[in-house]
């Protein structure tokens, strides 16, 4: 079961790599999220919102909640997670770095493990893509990949799927 899940994750990673853009970090429009926060807390709409904008805000608000004045995102599905919304790109980067490196540092967890750690606690749009991008550009991981023959594990998902045939 675990093996199958890993293959799916790797495939997803490859798809995203193909669509790689220069910068995976998205600076969130704080105004949108402040409006959201205000709506969730006080059930008030921003001034001048028309019917359609109000409806969009209500629909968006379903996926968010506020805990101790912080905005959290609820993911859908059986493995729903509650992640604190991180607006700032630098903060997103430092979160990924600390969870990828491990508590003591120098662990350099793989893509799947790092994505799980980050999404367990935090949320921003395209969060998985930014983790993948971070790991791909992590100097220490690149050195390890060179030493261990590139592609021997995570870069060749097709090899892995052969096990299931």
Residues near Zn ion (CB under 5 A) are: 108, 138, 140-141
Instruction: Tell the smallest beta-carbon distance from residue 16 to Zn ion (Å).
Output: 18
Nearer to Zn ion, 71 or 127 (CB): 127
CB within 8 Å of 130: residues ≥ 6 apart: 24, 25, 26, 92, 96, 124
Nearer to Zn ion, 13 or 57 (CB): 13
Nearer to Zn ion, 36 or 99 (CB): 99
Q: Is the distance from CB of 131 to CB of 96 less than 8 angstroms?
A: yes
Instruction: Tell the smallest beta-carbon distance from residue 108 to Zn ion (Å).
Output: 4
Instruction: Tell the smallest beta-carbon distance from residue 67 to Zn ion (Å).
Output: 31
Distance CA 24, CA 132 (A): 9
Distance CA 43, CA 64 (A): 13
């Amino acid at each position: 079961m675990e093996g199958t899940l890993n293959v799916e994750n790797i495939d997803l990673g490859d798809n995203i790599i193909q669509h790689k853009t220069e910068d995976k970090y998205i600076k969130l429009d704080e105004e949108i999220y402040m409006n959201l926060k205000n709506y969730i807390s006080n059930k008030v709409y921003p001034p001048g919102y028309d019917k359609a904008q109000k409806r969009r805000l209500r629909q968006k608000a379903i996926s968010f909640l506020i805990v101790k004045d912080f905005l959290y995102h609820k993911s859908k599905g059986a493995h729903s997670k509650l992640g604190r919304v991180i607006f700032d790109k630098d903060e997103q980067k430092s979160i990924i770095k600390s969870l990828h490196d491990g508590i003591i540092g120098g662990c350099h967890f793989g893509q799947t493990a790092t994505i799980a750690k980050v999404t367990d606690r935090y949320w921003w749009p395209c969060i998985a893509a930014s983790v993948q991008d971070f790991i791909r550009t992590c100097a220490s991981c690149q050195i390890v990949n060179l030493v261990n023959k590139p592609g021997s594990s995570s870069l060749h998902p097709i090899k892995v799927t052969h096990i299931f045939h």
